[in-house]
Amino acid sequence: MDITHILEELAFDMGQLPREAIEAAIVNKEKITPHLLEILENAVEQIDDIIEYDNYQGHLHAMYILAQFREPKAYPLILNLLSFPGEITHNILGDVLTEDVSRILASVCCGNIIPMQRLLESQVTNEYVRAALQSTLVILVGCGLKSRNEVVKYFSFLFQNKLEKRPSFVWDNLVACACELYPEELVDDISTAYQGGLVDPCFISLEDVGNILTENKQLHLFNLLQKSELIEDAVTEMEKWLTLSEGDPLAQEM
């Protein structure tokens, strides 16, 4: 399969996963990578078209394949796609936003978290994007690409200084992410957030946080290591979306 044919197959959702095209793209890594990067770059300029033609999937296929490639040039391009305000990011990414964007970013960022920190700290950024960026930091710790100490310190900075003091999913997810890292150093910050009414106790309660602290710290962090993973196989990752949509008529198709 030549490059032109691969790109044609990756562009639109035709009702089944373009497995052959994805596999061919992976085999032709050096040749296909510039084209996949161009897809992501162009997607920023074609947002309205992507939303209108909701069977367009080129940007999603590109993200997964480039994540498997560990392509660092994809990192700023994906962040650009995540920078749109309101519901635009959810409209163009669907469930990928909440399920896999964190792992995709962790796979291409090479441990450079500064650009995602800027996006996370912006009040204009969609709250689910901000939450996904928090989760990316946890994955980087779990995969050994960032130290727990660095991320815990940054989370404390978010608790104390960088998040606007109004309830949102950003606060809920921050507490959940802190718990993933074993939150012993963040107890005071977390308690203050609950006292300020910033966290939804139906999402995660202060009692839930306390229960985490009764666990063995080393075992808890070992479990994080075991479950944290980057994108290793684009075909397998994208197949799960097809399986989900076939098994659940309410699920969004990828």
Asked if pLDDT for residue 254 goes beyond 50, the answer is: no
Q: What percent of the chain has pLDDT over 70?
A: 95
For residue 242, what pLDDT band results from cuts at 50, 70 and 90? low
pLDDT per position as a tens digit, 208-220: 999 999 999 999 9
Q: Compute the average pLDDT of residues 139-163.
A: 97
Q: What is the pLDDT of residue 253?
A: 39
Q: What is the pLDDT of residue 84?
A: 94
Region of residue 197 (phi > 0: left; psi between -120 and 50: alpha; otherwise: beta): left
Asked if pLDDT for residue 234 goes beyond 80, the answer is: yes
Crossing angle of helices 127-142/169-180, nearest 10°?
10
For residue 248, what pLDDT band results from cuts at 50, 70 and 90? very low
CA-to-CA distance for 171 and 152, rounded, in angstroms? 15
Higher-confidence position of 140 and 252 = 140
Domain boundaries, the chain: 1-143+229-254, 146-227
Assessment of whether the complete model's pTM goes beyond 0.85: yes
3-class DSSP state of 85: strand
Q: Compute the average pLDDT of residues 235-247.
A: 72
pLDDT per position as a tens digit, 30-82: 999 999 999 999 999 999 999 988 789 999 999 999 999 999 999 999 999 99
